[in-house]
Structure 1
Amino acid sequence: METTTQTFNQYLTALRILHGAMVMGLLMFMVIIHFVLQPEQEDDSTLFVNLMVGFMVICIALSYWLYGQRVAAVKTEPNLSAKLAGYRSASIVKFALLEGPSLAALVFYLVSGNIALLGIGALGAVVLAINHPTSVKIKTDLDLSPADTARVDNPNEIVM
């Protein structure tokens, strides 16, 4: 298996592309369901709304908690490469837990036609979108040492 090396900018770009693809996929799915498929509303779909609100709250809380747990564990890693690999893994888990309830809400919207479910899906998309990865957030979350910060700030330094 061939390994590739990355600078921090390449690492961050890859993480941003992953995040952007998740957000855009969710938004495109939302637009297709609402404007192309145009589901008809059923009379008794409040159960779906109540389930999805609860599911959304649980998944958001779980995503932040798991992310915090994983990042705390990654901070103890001895080298920068291991920290960044762990951070990417923690971010992917967080993104997936934020995207899942939105996708489920959109599927239930497709089934029931209740516009409130479309709103729940949109809210989840917004929460996912505001959790985009940035250089400052990575440095702050990982509590990088001055030496690691200098490596990250050097555009030619291989960090992974």
Structure 2
Amino acid sequence: MSESQLTSKQYFRQLTIIHSALIIGQLLFLAVSLKVVSDGEVEGNDDVFKLIAPSLLAGGAIIGFFLRRSILAKAQKKELRDKLGDFRTATIVQCALLEGPSLFSIVCFLLTGNLLFLALVVISLALQFFARPTREKVMTDFVLSDGEISLLYDPEAMVAVDQKKYRN
């Protein structure tokens, strides 16, 4: 395994790119689905989906919230670079648990044409948007010293590790 140091600027840019890619993928799939549904008549039985999709979204949101809290709670006593690694993990896990129900709701919309599923997608995307990684979120999620806070705001400070696994 190879490790490289990340500056504060690189760390937050990398995390923002990951977060944005998750959201953009859903938006592109949604756009294609809207086009497909608007071009033709889609009729399907959506009774089962009306129960499953909201349940998945509620479950994903609740589990994501508690998993994030659990991951961050375990990281409180660690050094800043380890806290930031756990912050990245918690953010990705939470967004992934919201992305699944969003994609499922898009498929349900594609199959049935029911606008209820679009509302679920919007709710999921909003929750993901509010989970976006920022320096301020790191400061509210962790108890940081003044020195750690100044490192977060120094774009050139080495604050995190980027681990890359290579297979031979």
- TM-score computed with the length of structure 1 as normaliser: 0.91
Deviations 1:3-35 (Å, cap 9, x if unpaired)?
221111110111111111111111111010111
Once the two structures are aligned, what percentage of the paired residues are identical?
29
Equivalent position of 2:123 in the other structure: 123
1:112 aligns to 2:112 (yes or no): yes
Equivalent position of 2:153 in the other structure: 153
Equivalent position of 2:77 in the other structure: 76
1:54-69 → structure 2 map (5 Å cutoff): 54-69=55-70
SS of 1:4's equivalent?
Answer: strand
1:139-150 → structure 2 map (5 Å cutoff): 139-150=139-150
Give the letter for the 2:115 counterpart. Answer: I
Equivalent position of 1:52 in the other structure: 53
Question: Offset of 1:62 from its aligned partner?
Answer: 0.9
Kept after mapping to 2: 8 A contact 1:42/1:113? yes
If each structure's strand is expressed as a fraction of its own residues, which one has the higher value?
2
Give the letter for the 1:135 counterpart. Answer: R
SS of 1:3's equivalent?
Answer: strand
Give the letter for the 2:77 counterpart. Answer: T
| Gap runs ≥5 in structure 2 | 161-168
Aligned residue pairs: how many? 159
| Gap runs ≥5 in structure 1 | none
Equivalent position of 1:136 in the other structure: 136
Q: After TM superposition, what 4+ stretches of structure 1 lie above 6 angstroms from structure 2?
A: none
Question: Offset of 1:72 from its aligned partner?
Answer: 0.6
1:17-56 → structure 2 map (5 Å cutoff): 17-36=17-36, 38=38, 40-42=41-43, 44-56=45-57
Question: Offset of 1:136 from its aligned partner?
Answer: 0.8
